[in-house]
Amino acid sequence: MHKKQVSKIRAFNRFYTGVIGLLDKYLLDSRYTLPEVRVLFEIYHHGNITSKEITELLHMDKGYLSRILVSFEQKGLIKRNANEVDGRQQDISLSPKGEKEFLVLNEASENQITGLLADLSKQEIVQLIDHMDGIQNILSKNNK
């Protein structure tokens, strides 16, 4: 790959992280970091999930995930129960408070994207999504 191509990809990454606020300490004007929000997302969408599964899904360091989960537990956002298949694992789920927190974050994320698209035409939105699908399809070949 040529240096110019690498430079263009890095410039796009810097642009997009700025557009959606990923460089802010806390995501979506909340008290949560991006990794914390991603963990909440996975727990919400899986219902019951183990820390091992979260680690594999997010390619996250086990120690870092452990600290996030301890923090969530202290804040009353998650519940842990013994895993029926593997006694060494625990099933993690959101508490009612955790679900409420996630839904607030999810709505803020949807509002952010809606605002981002507000001044685009329908054709531009379709084109943008097509390009995003293309990027995802190409890059997912490297992650198989």
**Tens of each residue's pLDDT in the chain, 144 residues:** 689 999 999 999 999 888 887 777 778 888 999 999 999 999 999 989 999 999 999 999 999 999 999 999 999 999 998 888 777 788 999 999 999 999 999 999 999 999 999 999 999 999 999 999 999 999 888 765
Instruction: Check if the beta carbon of residue 28 is closer than 8 Å to that of residue 112.
Output: yes
Look up the pTM and report it: 0.85
Coil, strand or helix: which one is 60? coil
- Mind listing the domains of the chain with CATH numbers? 14-143 (1.10.10.10)
